[in-house]
Amino acid sequence: MPLKNDRYTYRVTWSEDDQEYIGLCAEFPSLSWLDQTPESALNGIRETVESVIKDMKDTGEEIPQPIACKRYSGKFMVRVPPEVHRNLAIQASESGVSLNRIVGSKLSR
């Protein structure tokens, strides 16, 4: 039985190498679960996360906070080559918007 109130970020995808579905958890990138169906892969990774969390609690380790529960400011710094910065500034100016607006628009695509 998976965790109650489980708010972790899961993904199920096909593994061509394994010829099975693989369940993944973003907050626990070293964990995965292979299974025949997407539903079984999801259940497997959720049960694995539950087991790991129990072990972490027993040993006093810090348990990762679910990504969905974190607060984000909307600000982060990214470094780009000077020519990319210049080209973005030109695009923003020609469009009559701020550099932040043009970059945000490109990132959200």
Tell me the whole-structure pTM to 2 decimals: 0.73
Tens of pLDDT, residue by residue over 57-82, are: 999 999 999 999 999 999 999 999 99
Opening angle at CA 46, ends 42 and 52, nearest 5: 145
Joined tokens for residue 19? 């010829």
- Contact (Cβ atoms closer than 8 angstroms) between residue 24 and residue 13: yes
List, in sequence order, every residue forming a beta bridge with 34; answer none if it has no partner.
22
pLDDT at 1: 59
What is the pLDDT confidence band of residue 3, given thresholds at 50, 70 and 90? low
List, in sequence order, every residue forming a beta bridge with 21; answer none if it has no partner.
14, 35
Tens of pLDDT, residue by residue over 7-37, are: 999 999 999 999 999 999 999 999 999 999 9
Rounded distance, CA 14 to CA 34, Å?
A: 9
Residues with Cβ within 8 Å of residue 101, at least 6 apart in sequence: 92
